[in-house]
Structure 1
Amino acid sequence: MRLLIHLILRLAAVVVFCLACAVGWVLVDAHRSIENDIAVSADRVAHNLQNLYWRQLLWRDGVYRDALLPLPDWESIATMKVIAPGICISFKLGAQDPHEICSQVEGIGTTAPGWFVSLYGALFGPHDSVTRPLTIRSRDAGTVVSRAEPAVAVRQAWRQVTVMVSVAAAMALGIGLLATLLIGHALMPARTIVRGLRRLEQGEHRHRLPAFGATEFNHIAGAVNDLAGRLASTTAERLALTKRLFQVQEEERRALARDLHDEFGQCLTATAALAASIEAGATPERPDLVDDARAIARITAQMMATLRGALARLRSQDLEELGLQASLVQLVARWNSGTANGAVFHLDVAGDLADVPAEAAVNVYRIAQECLTNAARHGKPRHVHLRVARTTDVDEAVALSVEDDGGGDAARINAASGHGILGIRERIAALGGSLSIAAAARGVRVAAIIPLILPQPRAAAAVA
């Protein structure tokens, strides 16, 4: 999961938790507010009735009367004003029947849904009523009972919750959007760092990350830049070592070819001459000597043919004597003459290969040699096409491709750990080129770009 989404989800979880806590607090506050309205309404009505009682007592000269019922006056607008919305007041004077009056509920709010009614009832239960005595003439003169309408109380709580949730949701949405923008802006250096790491992965070791405003990202950028410098230095040293190894390999091949030609070749030639001498000097009574001499001659001829093939693969003097193009022609001709499965090898040359530098020419020849060997070894092709082209743009290079119709698996060749593909990759990497192995129409296509201007390890190391 992306870090930005992860942080946003965490922020949303915190907001939902805070919103739930706020809803719980609003419910508790609404419950307390209703209970307070019940008590306050009872006190106000009791006080109002006491004033009415004394007024009626004075106006009617009721000091000597046993009972006064100020019923026409207590159910008035003045009394309604002191009763909180959603509260009902019941007044009982002596032994008479109680009289009840309720406040208006039209402006309290809409009816609460059933689930909220059930939740509110489960959490708080019904509200307790409040009783206040009317202490006129005696404590048993009358009582004022204040209670809350259950449906109206739930409507009041629902209204407060909806108002609070609406405001909180709007604020949470705004805060969430602003937080998302701020978090996204704060995490923008991470994308730059990832792109820089990708470029390092692709071999762009000269790339450096810029400085960032945040200290933490600056530390990361510094570590990445240091890593890039070390990678550039290590890569330059590895390329220089690889080039030196290939040079030593070519020298060893020349030495081995020279030793085989001078020592082993001369021995085979002497063996063939000795076999011919034995065959010529054998008497008619020793026909077995003739047969043995001819067998030795045949074996010697086979070993000579094998030796010539080995010398052709080892020697690179032909490149210096004939040039790259002629050497490639001879290479393809040897494959056409020596292939046992009947495959036909084709050569297409584009551009002038005459002035290709000697070191680059040797590498092109070795890469072509190994690619043809892999094409013939890892498939059953009928046609193998070798194409070599000299580019004429600013970055001069030789483009080489080998395509066959042998039905090979490009993915398996890419994942192979054999010495052939590994040697091609290392040789091309040392030259600063590129290699691609992909599926062709009926087989596999191996394409390589070999720069003619070889990379300078010292310069790369100095930049690092």
Structure 2
Amino acid sequence: MSEAAIPAPAPPGFDLKRHLIIRVTLFACLICILASAVIFDQAARRIREHVQRSGATIEQLIARELDDERPSFDRRFDQLQFSMLSELGLLLKLCITVQDIYGSDPFTRCFGTEEARAPDWVTAVLHRWIGDEARYAGLIRRYPGIKVGEFLLNTDVESESAEVWSQLQLVLAITVGVLLVNLLVYLPVRRALRPTDRILDTIGRLEAGDLSARMPRPKLIELRRIAEGFDHLAERLQRTDRRQRQLAQRLLSVREEERRRLARELHDEFGQSLTSIRAEASMVAEDAGDKMPELQPSLTAIGRMTGDMMENLQRILHQLRPVALEEFGLHASLEQLVSSARRARPGCEVSLSVAGEVDDLPDDLTASLYRITQEGLNNALRHAEPQRIDITLTRDESGLHLAIVDDGAGGHRDTRGSGLGVLGMTERVEALGGRFSMTPRAPNGMTVDACFPKRAAEPEEDWDDPSVAGR
């Protein structure tokens, strides 16, 4: 087969509801992450800028406070109040660490407000984002320019993180709002697309052969139009299928009627003619007697050939229309068929199992079951050389199931339905709305399955009733 004839692979499925909620959720999370990153970055930039710009000013304020409030010989900072830095430090949220020239313990004071503390992870992220750049190291001098100590200016991370956390809370609130809107959009979409599950179930029933399945009527206008168009096509398909099955049934009925007519003609014409020939040959043999002994071999051969022809005629008549099928029913006819197979192949064990009442079936179904069993049995005996053949016929609430299982070498038999016998079995089963299959068994053998729906056992005139045709 050429590459152009190879069908293209089907595109992957697309779940609208799932993609809708996933995409909006990812968008909201992405916006939240980007906004949080912007908040941290702006806070870090602002803090570094404030520290660098306010360093020199704070150095002057500290020197002025030392000159105004302390004697010139007192160079310790243990009583330093930073009163001039309070407002500036509170505004900028700074921390100052000072150390005098005597090597005493450093003294630190933070001017941040007593706000609600932020989570530890916010403080840790902000501290890492700021880095070591947000520091200012300066000298503390007293008039006239004498160095009396050093100071280190940095930010009050806890106070800054509280402000950042308040902004992050606003971003999180907006994100939650977007997710809530997403949910509010998802719910009506899911409600509108909920009938798609029932639509898929209806399509599955149609694929399984239930042509009476009909689509639901969704509230969504687009889906409703699709459902109405699909139901219209399903109704046309059901009518066409019903007409085709009725036609196929009619053809089977005509075929069986022709078989009966042909059997009657053969029996009435050829049967009587052969009987007459045999009787005439016997009379000639008696009349000739000892007078014409040379005719005795020919007359004996005529009688023998006439007898063989009568046996062959009986066999053909039985194949065309078994007498037991009309007089004794399907069960007895199948038993007779099995008995004939046992006599024809003594080394093969043939079993028959019938469950349920099968003698009250319509004529078409009865004839089809018999013909399928006959053909399947003949195929197994003629081609497979089996040691065992099991025939099972079951009738229950779901319908009828005929299975012919053999253990012969069935690998060479045609399982594609091209043989005339297999084609005939397939036509009979499909004409009655059933399913036919031939499946090789491991390691050897073949399984012939014919499944008929419950409606096949109904009278033919009931098939036009939609309540029956849908079963």
Tell me the TM-score normalised to structure 2 length.
0.61
Paired AA for residue 308 in structure 1: Q
Aligned-pair CA distance for 1:20? 3.7
Aligned-pair CA distance for 1:166? 6.4
Q: In structure 1, what is the Cα distance between the partners aligned to 2:337 and 2:358?
A: 23
Deviations 1:158-188 (A, max 9, x none): 9689867866776677667666645543331
Alignment correspondent of 1:340: 344
Identity %: 21
Residue 302 to residue 337, structure 1, CA distance change in 2 (3 Å): same
Q: Is the 8 A contact 1:233 1:460 kept in 2?
A: no
Q: In structure 2, what is the Cα distance between the partners aligned to 1:49 and 1:88?
A: 13
Selected match of 1:24 from 34, 39, 42: 34
Selected match of 2:259 from 253, 256, 259: 253
Q: In structure 1, what is the Cα distance between the partners aligned to 2:28 and 2:353?
A: 75
Selected match of 1:363 from 362, 365, 375: 365
Listed as ranges, the gaps of 5+ residues in structure 2 are 1-11, 99-105, 139-150
Deviations 1:65-91 (A, max 9, x none): xxxx9x999852551442366645699
Residue 52 to residue 215, structure 1, CA distance change in 2 (3 Å): same
Selected match of 1:205 from 204, 207, 211: 211
Does 2:331 correspond to 1:325?
A: no
Q: In structure 1, what is the Cα distance between the partners aligned to 2:437 and 2:211?
A: 21
Residue 278 to residue 386, structure 1, CA distance change in 2 (3 Å): farther
Listed as ranges, the gaps of 5+ residues in structure 1 are 61-68, 92-98, 133-144
Paired AA for residue 332 in structure 2: V
Secondary structure class of the residue paired with 2:328: helix
Aligned-pair CA distance for 1:191? 0.6
Q: In structure 1, what is the Cα distance between the partners aligned to 2:203 and 2:337?
A: 46
Q: Is the 8 A contact 2:93 2:111 kept in 1?
A: yes
Residue 36 to residue 151, structure 1, CA distance change in 2 (3 Å): closer
Q: Is the 8 A contact 2:393 2:401 kept in 1?
A: yes
CA-based RMSD: 6.3
Alignment correspondent of 1:103: 110
Q: Is the 8 A contact 1:382 1:406 kept in 2?
A: yes
Residue 274 to residue 384, structure 1, CA distance change in 2 (3 Å): farther
Bigger shift: residues 210-219 or 274-283: 274-283
Alignment correspondent of 2:320: 314
Tell me the TM-score normalised to structure 1 length.
0.62
Aligned-pair CA distance for 1:190? 0.5
Q: Is the 8 A contact 1:346 1:384 kept in 2?
A: yes
1:142-157 equivalences under 5 Å are: 148=154
Paired AA for residue 374 in structure 1: G
Deviations 1:90-130 (A, max 9, x none): 99xxxxxxx9976367956536799x699x66xx8764678
Residue 290 to residue 127, structure 1, CA distance change in 2 (3 Å): farther
Q: In structure 2, what is the Cα distance between the partners aligned to 1:459 and 1:452?
A: 11
1:44-443 equivalences under 5 Å are: 76-77=82-83, 79-83=85-89, 87=94, 103=110, 107=117, 110=120, 127=133, 148=154, 181-261=187-267, 298=304, 300-315=306-321, 318=323, 323=326, 325=328, 329=332, 332-333=335-336, 335-337=338-340, 339-342=343-346, 343=349, 360-375=362-377, 377-378=379-380, 380=386, 406-407=406-407, 417=417, 423=424, 426-427=427-428, 430-431=431-432
Aligned-pair CA distance for 1:221? 0.9
Secondary structure class of the residue paired with 2:89: coil
Residue 50 to residue 331, structure 1, CA distance change in 2 (3 Å): closer
Paired AA for residue 252 in structure 2: F
Does 2:51 correspond to 1:35?
A: no
Paired AA for residue 110 in structure 2: S
Paired AA for residue 25 in structure 1: A
